[in-house]
Chains A and B, each alone.
Chain A
Amino acid sequence: MDTAMLSEKALKFWSRFYARLISLYPRAYYDRFGQSMMQTFNDLCRERDGASGSPVFWIFAETSGHIVREHVLQRTKTMYGVVLASVYIAIISTLGLDGDLVGPLYLAAIAVIILGAVIGFIETRKHPRAYRFGMVFALMTALLIAWANPAVGMIGNESNQANLMFLAVFAVAIIGGAVAGFRPRGMALAMFAAGGAQLLIGVISYFSALPLPQIHNTAFAAFWVGAGLLFSRAAAPRAR
């Protein structure tokens, strides 16, 4: 055996270790390049002087840096979403319980929803048709609620401040979508959660002795679920 090469035993040891390391790559990246990276690693080990063992360390260090990089790159969209959600939370947390329901802050909250939807639409370019329909459905539901709530008031009348609770439904949809990086499966879960939040407001109203939300509250919950089903369809392996 050539002494300038890593022994087969050492090669197996480092290969196992490297296999563990590259499994830390994002799943899609690992599936795409994992096997090739292992082959390249083994090739590199076979050509290196194994006396000190150090030649493999730079490969580990270099690969570790790139694992972090790929995770950051893949989460850029999620980061945008988190920033968007943070702005939204900041806005709704400053909405006072006094004054008119529709003020500059309410409009700003709606603007953030629209901005989120625009980012979602940009995402639709690389997703199946069901994703695009799901996004349209979700946006229409959000805008209908945003319009109907101050117009007629889903709880009591349009001046009832309890109607501000419905902004929390948007928050669930936006934060859920953001955390999911606008990916189909995560978007589906976010929509189902928004539907659940919509119904929860009815339960809260009941136990808080508030006027019960009008019947279209249930319809809006169904719309969220409908959007969720479309995103679920988009997440299916053979969706087009």
Chain B
Amino acid sequence: MAAKTSSPLTPAVLHILLALAGEDRHGYAIMKQVETDSGGGVKMGPGTLYGSLGRMIDAGLIRESEKKIDPKMDDERRVYYRITALGQKALAAELERYRAVVAVAKEKRLAFNMNGYGHAV
């Protein structure tokens, strides 16, 4: 099953793609990176993480990486994941969608504040 790059991504998929955009990571490292990227706002459990990873592999967005960290430094059985070209396209398309939404919000002079947004300035 190949993913359509034009389809909106779920928050979990978006965050995982973002986490893998910089480098190959294993499950726990992805989890920590997502937490960092979201400022602690998004916390994934192993169920969500591996369920998403499985579906992303099936959709061709990521794949298992050949990268094996030095066994002395890490557990050599760890599986690392790498974003694919399709995954990069999907991520770029999603970020473009976000940019478009922000542009519309700006155009409508909507401001963000602590209570959410919707207040004209």
Chain A residues closer than 8 Å to B46, beta-carbon distance: 37, 40-41, 44, 59, 62-63
A66 at the interface (CB under 8 A from B): yes
Interface stretch of the complex, out of A28-36, A77-85, A108-116, A149-157: A28-36
How many chain B residues sit at the interface, stated as a range, is: 10 to 19
CB distance from B41 to the nearest CB of A (A): 16
Given contacts A59-B45, A62-B45, A63-B45, is CB(A39)–CB(B50) below 8 Å? Answer: no
A40 B28 Cβ-Cβ under 8 A: yes
0/1 string, A48-66, CB within 8 A of B gives 1? 0000000000110011111
Which partner residue on chain B sits nearest A28 by CB separation?
B54
B45 A33 Cβ-Cβ under 8 A: no
Chain A residues closer than 8 Å to B50, beta-carbon distance: 33, 36-37, 40
A67 at the interface (CB under 8 A from B): yes
Which partner residue on chain B sits nearest A126 by CB separation?
B1
Chain A residues closer than 8 Å to B54, beta-carbon distance: 29, 32-33
CA distance A105 to B84 in the complex (A): 52
Given contacts A58-B45, A62-B45, is CB(A39)–CB(B51) below 8 Å? Answer: no
Say whether chain B's binding surface is mostly helix, strand, loop, or mixed.
helix
CA distance A59 to B49 in the complex (A): 11
B78 at the interface (CB under 8 A from A): yes
Interface-centre pick from A40, A41, A44, A64 (highest chain B CB count, 10 A): A40
B49 A40 Cβ-Cβ under 8 A: yes
Chain B residues closer than 8 Å to A12, beta-carbon distance: none
A62 B26 Cβ-Cβ under 8 A: no
CA distance A181 to B80 in the complex (A): 32
CB distance from B37 to the nearest CB of A (A): 18
CA distance A70 to B46 in the complex (A): 13
0/1 string, B73-110, CB within 8 A of A gives 1? 00101110000000000000000000000000000000
CB distance from A21 to the nearest CB of B (A): 10
A43 at the interface (CB under 8 A from B): yes
A27 at the interface (CB under 8 A from B): no
Within 8 A of B (CB), among A103-126: none
A75 at the interface (CB under 8 A from B): no
CA distance A40 to B77 in the complex (A): 12
Chain B residues closer than 8 Å to A70, beta-carbon distance: 51
Chain B residues closer than 8 Å to A67, beta-carbon distance: 47
Given contacts A59-B46, A63-B46, is CB(A40)–CB(B27) below 8 Å? Answer: yes
Which partner residue on chain A sits nearest B28 by CB separation?
A43
Chain A residues closer than 8 Å to B49, beta-carbon distance: 40
A240 at the interface (CB under 8 A from B): no
CA distance A59 to B45 in the complex (A): 6
CB distance from A33 to the nearest CB of B (A): 4
Chain A residues closer than 8 Å to B75, beta-carbon distance: 39
B13 at the interface (CB under 8 A from A): no
Question: Which 4 A/B pairs are nearest by Cβ-Cβ distance?
Answer: A66-B47, A62-B45, A43-B28, A63-B47
Beyond A39-B77, A44-B28, 17 additional pairs, beta carbon < 8 A: A33-B54, A36-B27, A37-B27, A37-B46, A39-B26, A39-B75, A40-B27, A40-B28, A40-B50, A59-B45, A62-B45, A62-B47, A62-B48, A65-B47, A66-B45, A66-B47, A66-B51
Residues of chain A whose beta carbon lies under 8 Å from any beta carbon of chain B: 29, 32-33, 35-37, 39-41, 43-44, 58-59, 62-67, 69-70
